[in-house]
Amino acid sequence: MILDLAQDAPASVTDKKPALDKFERRQSAVTPPRTISAAFRVSVLVTAYRRPHQLEEALASLAMQDHSLIGEIVVSDDSPADEAKANQAIIETSELRPLIRYFHHSPSLGCYPNHWFLARQARYAHMMFLHDDDALCAGTLASLVEACKQETDPNVRLWFGRNIIMDVDGKVDIAVSDAHNAKYDRAGSGAVRQVWEWCLHESVPPNSFLVGTDDYRRLMQGKRDGNVGDFGFVVRLANSGARARFIARDMSFYRVQAASSTSSGRGVDVHRAYEIATSLRVPPEFEALKHRRFNPMALTATVRHARDGERREAWDLYRSKAWTWRQRLSLRGIAVLAMLLTPRFAWNWTLSNGA
């Protein structure tokens, strides 16, 4: 059952200060870009799951944006009934309520089916995801829209920036943030590159980027994306020949917490991520770099294939060049070989939370 509390048409809202003071304190050093007067509105798509207090913070960060750029906010809620009621109460008291369309799913859709549902609801030509446990920096939407409006290269079809890392309580760690952005090649100056180049560093964040709605809908769904659908979309965008612009400014607060979908339960679907990475098309001279970047995932991916009952895929990967002989002869490599040579029931019980 889908509960739809959508309003018939979005109404204008009056720009107010956000309800949560801590977002004001975090943003105090950020200088928002100039106001964009021409009509350009974005569908902001918010996934929600069991975190009402964090949804409130996410909406507070949206309230700090230029409201004239927000065409709609669509909230798709996978929460159980109690948390869903709390989410609805937060939405009803939000100053952004006239812009919000809310959907509750019972049973829940799951992580990326929820994203796909949201994309199908979007009414505007450009869209942005915001997860309920994350938040936008002041001026983010204006920065992305400004870059998109000024774009002269029609092949640039996605715009993104840096993340600030925060913990479950919203405490920011600048050193960790800097290291995070350096790791994903987001520490330098702004640049336009082929999306495959950004993929080699996994530079595009899982949310807070701006993209064409039609582009996302066309490429959003892969048969074997698992819980790495964000990477799957970006790789498919890369394989379409697109380019992306990196804007050298902080765009979002990315929350690291144990309760996230990729930090709990099965963990990250590494085997699916590895499959997606190997499908990335790069020029021949960059094939070696691609293998150096993604082959370290192969050992864990082999275990995940075996654990999921995909024994043929596990054997194929184990025998591939992605495995080195040093890995095969290591203690862990020998353990993986033992897994492949014995029935799954003999060892699967020991992998309570995955490899």
How far apart, in Å, do the first and last CA atoms of the chain sit? 34
With respect to residue 272, please indicate whether it lies within any of the assigned structural domains. no
For 161-193, b/e burial (b = at least 16 CB within 10 A) is bbbbbbeeebeeeeeebeebbeebbbeeeeeeb
Model pLDDT, residue 5 = 59
With respect to residue 240, please indicate whether it lies within any of the assigned structural domains. yes
Residues 236 and 166 in one domain: yes
With respect to residue 277, please indicate whether it lies within any of the assigned structural domains. no
Model pLDDT, residue 33 = 43
Residues 189 and 309 in one domain: no
Distance of CA 324 to CAs 51, 249, 310, Å? 43, 39, 21
Residues 157 and 219 in one domain: yes
Residues 35 and 114 in one domain: yes
Give the HSE-up count for residue 69: Cα atoms under 13 Å, Cβ half-sphere.
24
DSSP 3-state assignment of 230?
helix
> Residue 108's domain is classified under what CATH number?
3.90.550.10
AA letter at 155: N
Residue 51 has which token pair?
A: 């975190």
With respect to residue 205, please indicate whether it lies within any of the assigned structural domains. yes
Residues 202 and 344 in one domain: no
Model confidence, pTM: 0.86
Model pLDDT, residue 226 = 87
Q: What angle do CA 125, 7, 18 make, to 5 degrees?
A: 80
Residues 90 and 207 in one domain: yes
State yes or no: cis peptide before 107, omega within 30 of 0. Answer: yes
With respect to residue 133, please indicate whether it lies within any of the assigned structural domains. yes
Could you report the per-residue pLDDT of 21-54, keeping only the tens digit for each?
A: 454 454 544 444 434 445 799 999 999 999 999 9
Residues 239 and 320 in one domain: no
Residues 208 and 308 in one domain: no
Determine how β-strand 126-131 pairs with β-strand 100-105.
unpaired
- 255, 280, 315 - which closes a domain: 255
- 255, 287, 310 - which closes a domain: 255
Residues 116 and 224 in one domain: yes
Residues of the chain predicted below pLDDT 50: 8-21, 23-24, 26, 28-37, 263-264, 353-355
Which residues span the domain enclosing 67? 2-255
Model pLDDT, residue 346 = 80
351 C-beta neighbours (distance < 10 Å), count: 13
Identify the CA nearest to 61 among candidates 31, 22, 110, 93.
22
Model pLDDT, residue 11 = 34
With respect to residue 182, please indicate whether it lies within any of the assigned structural domains. yes
Residue 296 has which token pair?
A: 């370290």
Helix ranges (H only) for the chain are 21-27, 52-63, 81-93, 111-121, 140-150, 174-183, 195-199, 213-219, 229-239, 270-279, 287-294, 298-307, 311-318, 325-329, 331-341
Model pLDDT, residue 170 = 92
Q: What angle do CA 238, 239, 245 make, to 5 degrees?
A: 20
With respect to residue 279, please indicate whether it lies within any of the assigned structural domains. no
- 220, 255, 290 - which closes a domain: 255
**What is the count of structural domains for the chain?**
2
Residues 333 and 234 in one domain: no
Residues 41 and 190 in one domain: yes
Could you report the per-residue pLDDT of 149-197, keeping only the tens digit for each?
A: 999 999 999 999 999 999 999 999 999 999 999 999 999 999 999 999 9
Residue linked to tokens 């774009």:
151
Model pLDDT, residue 267 = 81
Residues 184 and 331 in one domain: no
With respect to residue 7, please indicate whether it lies within any of the assigned structural domains. yes
